[in-house]
Amino acid sequence: MRCVTCGSQFHRGNGDLGAMLAVTVTAAIALVVANALPLLTLTSGGQQTRATLWQAIGASYDRELPFVAIALSMTLIVAPAVELGLLMWLLVPLCLRTRPPGFVAMMGLLRALRPWRMVEVFFLGLIVAIVKLSALATAVPEWGMFGVAVVAVSLAALAWFDPGALWRRAGEVVA
């Protein structure tokens, strides 16, 4: 898209579908790591506690905050997982030069889903929590935290790719 006044390009997104697929697979693997492994280990007074993403959601629910638990589940697990699944559904066939089934509907769903993922916000909140907790206990980041960081960076990187490249490739290939 170009400015009507000066002709400068507004958005210079990357159109390399292979690179986009690589970042998507990386984010999917990191999402599994973030969900399967502890985020951090807290040590205080000789007691050691490991916290996982699922335990954080469960703790919210147990403290009678079901809406917080639902929001955490949706923004940290469901929305990113569905987005990455949709991207793989679209990118694998397009990289193989075929048009994926339901392309137009999947692109619409992908666009509608993007605002619902908040992994980046969670990651920043996690960093703030670790800094605050370090005054009370020893907080050691674990592999789950690394997974959350990679998911956050990967999803941010995916935002820089040009979605128009998907449309262009779909227009070039046979259904």
In a domain, 114, yes or no: yes
Whole-number pLDDT of residue 125: 76
Whole-number pLDDT of residue 113: 82
pLDDT tens digits for range 145-164: 899 899 989 988 888 888 88
In a domain, 5, yes or no: no
DSSP H/E element including 43 = strand 40-44
The answer, yes or no, to whether residue 54 has pLDDT greater than 70, is yes
List the domain range (segments joined by +) for residue 38. 17-172
Whole-number pLDDT of residue 118: 72
pLDDT tens digits for range 29-50: 999 999 999 988 888 888 888 8
Between CA 158 and CA 77 the distance in angstroms is 17
Residues forming a β-bridge with 98: 174
In a domain, 160, yes or no: yes
Domain tally for the chain?
A: 1
In a domain, 9, yes or no: no
